[in-house]
Amino acid sequence: MNTDLIDIKIRAVEGGVTAAAGFKAAGIHAGFRKNPERLDYALVVPDKPCPGAGVFTTNRFCAAPVQVSRANLGGADKGYGIIAGVSVNSGNANAATGETGLACARETCSIASQVIGCEPQQILVASTGVIGQILPIDTFETAIPAAYEALSAHGGADAARAIMTTDTHSKEYAVSYVSEAAGHAGNVYTVGGMCKGSGMIMPNMATMIAVIT
């Protein structure tokens, strides 16, 4: 990159995953965890379906949500598409759950698509928590409508807390900059995100979850 052509002044901003214009999020207690004080379900939704991409673990044995989300983005050879919502639950990873887990992940996409008003393939799903336990679909049937009603441009912090597992604190950040690049001079760009994981990025993305807007 020729740094003489680009002069970027970056500053931190508030909002996390909802810092970028056009995104709302919510974090609620839905019942995936027993502790009623613990947020355990996050929903991130753009104002309208938008282009997006995904990067997934290359481990052979990946959880059902990974397989379904990767398929919704056209498979391993593509990895991008139109996204209308991201659904993340904590407390149960829906991993090592076989065809039952895959059916749950697909049905989650279906439920979310009906609530949001989009195609099931435009929903990405992620789950984190204990493995080998069946994830109850009926919890999503109440969680998704409740989270959708709670969506807010200020909901990023709650969403970041809702996806925590062994994390000691929530993880979110956002930056904004004015571009001076040719063709984009004067345009303000904001990038925000949230993630979960405590030393969980290895091997091969492992169990880290990150959502970037």
Where in the sequence numbering do the catalytic residues fall?
A: 207
Q: Can you list the positions of beta strands (E) in 93-158?
A: 123-130
Inter-axis angle of helices 137-150 and 98-116, to 10 degrees?
Answer: 30
Q: Which tokens belong to 88?
A: 């993340």
Q: Are 213 and 36 in contact (CB under 8 A)?
A: no
- Among the listed residues 164, 130, 142, 132, the one whose alpha carbon sits nearest the alpha carbon of residue 40: 164
CA 19/CA 73 separation, integer angstroms: 24
